[in-house]
Amino acid sequence: MEHNHITLPEGSIEKTTTTLNIGPTHPATHGVFQNIMEVDGERVVSSDQTVGYIHRAFEKLAERRPLYQITTITDRLNYCSSPINNMGWHITCEKFLQIETPKRVDYLRVIIMELARISDHLICNSIVGVDTGAYTGFLYVMQYRELIYEIYEEICGSRLTTNMGRIGGFERNFTNTAFTKLEKFLNEYPKVLKEFESLFTRNRIFMERTQGTGGISAERAMNYGFTGPNLRAAGVDYDVRVHQPYSSYQDFNFTVPVGTTGDNYDRFLVRNAEMWESISIIRQAYEKVQAFKGAEAEVYHADVPEYYLPKKEDVYTKMEALIWHFKIIMGEIDLPKGQIYCPVEGGNGELGFYLISDGGRTPFRLHFRRPCFIYYQAYPELIKGGMLSDAVVTMSSLNLIAGELDA
Amino acid sequence: MSLTNEMVQEKLIAKFSDQVLQFATSYGMLSFESPKEINLKVLQFLYDEPSLAFTFLTDICAVNYPNQKGAELVVVYHLHNLKENIRLRYSVSTSLENTDVYTATKLFESANWMERETYDFFGINFVGHPNLKRILNVDEMDYFPLRKEFPLEDQTRIDKDDEMFGRG
């Protein structure tokens, strides 16, 4: 053998930093993320990210699917709050096709979207707790995410990838059980959230771990394309629900919480404050839903036979319903020509759908503006010069969802 | 006085005259095009001009129109003025032979990955990009999969051994 000795790369003896590989699957990354970091002792000097491990070519797949089949793709973007993605997609289609939805549908959607926002923030904040060494909060709030999932189940039959709703409304009306569970949630959850907050917010260990780490200024955050709670934590009060109200958000009273320093602690506080706002929005929406009387109280979808599947019993007994059913299932509905960009406030930022149609039956092109794909590129800047253990907390407090990032 | 689509259009025409064209408004959003050579000048003007201040880059993506000869690839920018809360869509087109488009990374940090993604799927060569390599697909890939010349697999094909996928 000629080379029986180890050949070191040139300069590696003089090198004073260590190269550390974290991920793609690591308990501290909460998703499929790889980071190759240069660390000097425990200080992060630089880091290089690799993404794309669970890329599934959603944008290409969408080019062959009629609109209603794309809903299942949106489930798999931010899977911590799938209903927001579902509703966002339906709202995009409705805007594009100029469909007016009844107010009751809008309010039911608001209930669902805010429940999804709570479950999203709940996971993110409790995982920040786990990464700072406090497991209790995570286990404690998990049963309320379970309750939210039970409400989803009651509405659409599934829990994680919900495929909830249709273009024009919901596939069926909310059952009484769904409303009972919602009431249970509204009664019990505030106490739990209060206790969750008292576990963390003024906890000295938690504060010292999160304050001043992973911070970003408002200017840098905007330049990096931050949106959602991460941007608001830096002090910019941009919220799609307020700036471009959709699904009748203009009918609700709520405040947009903002932070100042954009660090991990502020992100945590902003998310907690948003959960309180969400509870208040759900209460208002539930009141509005209950105020509908008579025939109005039974409305759960708009009258759009071209896109909304008719009832099964009508398909078997009525000619017109049968025709529409056939046309929808066989994908024989031509879309109008045009393009639209429609954003909604997702769990972690502005989730946008850019739909281009050339008059065919499927989108000519569909692009998802995925918030965490865009702000994850700021991660090396956020953790530079900090401790390695803070980098882990920063990652979880950014609310990165691999499914959304990799699309 | 709040900014309107018409005012944005007037200011752009006053600055770039016939270089900016195809103004249209669809679903409330102003869209326009320009030759790809001046894309940075347009973006910089939209960013710097105090009365416009489109300082937030919402999105960059590309579209492939195989029938537009000489302008098959279109790069689309979505910009947002957060103060006035007005959005606009700006696009430049390029041919398949010469896919050079100037990078917007000097103006927006967020453009970095968005342009990498656009390169990854459409092969737009962003001139001046600090790290233009594939981001979601594997590095060894030698084609640009979101171009229309790559159709999805025929769903009715029967010549494939699908046993491993439970369809054998």
Residues 6+ apart with CB under 8 A from A222: A231, A236, B55, B56, B82
Predicted-complex ipTM score: 0.93
User: Is A378 in Cβ contact with B85 (below 8 Å)?
Assistant: no
For residue A10, the model assigns a pLDDT of: 76
Q: How far is A340 from chain B (nearest CA, A)?
A: 7
For residue A5, the model assigns a pLDDT of: 76
What CATH number is given to the structural domain containing A89?
1.10.645.10
As a whole number, the mean pLDDT across chain A is: 92
CATH of region B5-152: 3.30.460.80
Chain A positions with Cβ closer than 8 Å to B: 51-52, 55, 57, 59-61, 63-64, 95-96, 220, 222-225, 236, 238, 243-244, 338-343, 350, 352, 354, 356, 364-365, 367, 369, 373-378, 406-407
Provide mean pLDDT across the span A372-386: 93
How far is residue A376's CA from residue A360's CA, in Å, rounded to a whole number?
Answer: 35
Q: What is the DSSP letter of A272?
A: H
Q: Provide the residue range defining the domain that includes A189.
A: 60-406
Provide mean pLDDT across the span A305-333: 92
Q: What is the pTM of this model?
A: 0.93
Asked if residue A377 is part of any domain, the answer here is: yes
For residue A25, the model assigns a pLDDT of: 86
Asked if residue A27 is part of any domain, the answer here is: no
For residue B109, the model assigns a pLDDT of: 93
Task: Parse chain B into domains and list their residue ranges.
Answer: 5-152
| Nearest CB to A57 within list B78, B108, B145 | B145
Question: Which segments in chain B show pLDDT lower than 50?
Answer: none
For residue A7, the model assigns a pLDDT of: 75
Q: Is the pLDDT of residue A1 over 70?
A: no
For residue A57, the model assigns a pLDDT of: 92
Helix (DSSP H) and strand (DSSP E) numbers for chain B: 3, 7
User: Is A367 in Cβ contact with B61 (below 8 Å)?
Assistant: yes
Least confident of A11-25, A112-126, A359-373, B55-69: A11-25
| Nearest CB to A225 within list B57, B136, B152 | B57
For residue B19, the model assigns a pLDDT of: 92
| Nearest CB to A225 within list B76, B85, B110 | B110
H-run or E-run covering A77: none
Of A31 and B96, which is predicted with more confidence? B96
Per-residue pLDDT tens digits for A202-247 = 999 999 999 999 999 999 999 999 999 999 999 999 999 999 999 9
Nearest one of B96, B77, B92 to B147, comparing CA atoms: B96
Confidence of residue A355 (pLDDT cuts 50, 70, 90): very high
For residue B166, the model assigns a pLDDT of: 67
Q: Is the pLDDT of residue A3 over 70?
A: no
H-run or E-run covering A22: strand A18-22
For residue A395, the model assigns a pLDDT of: 92
Asked if residue A210 is part of any domain, the answer here is: yes
Per-residue pLDDT tens digits for A98-108 = 999 999 999 99
User: Is B59 in Cβ contact with A354 (below 8 Å)?
Assistant: yes
User: Is B56 in Cβ contact with A224 (below 8 Å)?
Assistant: no
Indicate the number of domains in chain A.
1
Confidence of residue A185 (pLDDT cuts 50, 70, 90): very high
Q: How far is B21 from chain A (nearest CA, A)?
A: 18
